[in-house]
Amino acid sequence: MRLGVTRFATSYLTLGCLHENKGALIRMFTSNEWKSSKFAKINDGKIVEDVVLDKEFWKNIITCLKGALPLIEVLRLVDSDQKPAMGFIYEAMDQAKEKIQKAFNAVKKRY
């Protein structure tokens, strides 16, 4: 990806990468190799382990991803080399709001 495409999406891409590697991260922090390492015994290691094993952390990542993707799509449209007409931007914003609303309504229905 080129800088212009990812400039607004760096945090989103990082969260997405974390989410994709959730299983491997959890396995790593629950492994015997981790538990016997010096890092598992220091404060920073314990803090990171607590975060990775926290179900609320992973739930919050999903929430961020669902809310951010539609906005990043609009930012990419606005930041593209070809500037779209204002009507397209307003339409894209309306669609982004609808996508975000649907994503969070689906979450509410499950709980």
- Give the pLDDT score at 76: 74
Q: Does any domain span residue 9?
A: yes
Count of domains observed in the chain: 1
Residue with the two structure tokens 């945090």: 11
Which one, of 95, 25, 20, 27, lies nearest residue 65 by Cα? 20
Q: Does any domain span residue 111?
A: no
Q: Does any domain span residue 71?
A: yes
- Give the pLDDT score at 34: 96
Q: Tens of pLDDT along 2-30?
A: 455 556 678 888 899 999 999 999 999 99
Q: Does any domain span residue 28?
A: yes
Instruction: Report pTM.
Output: 0.68
Q: Does any domain span residue 94?
A: yes
The SS3 assignment for 31 reads: coil
**H or E segment at 75?**
helix 55-79
Q: Tens of pLDDT along 75-106?
A: 777 776 676 667 777 788 888 888 888 888 86
Q: Tens of pLDDT along 58-78?
A: 999 998 888 888 888 787 777
Domain that holds residue 22: 3-106
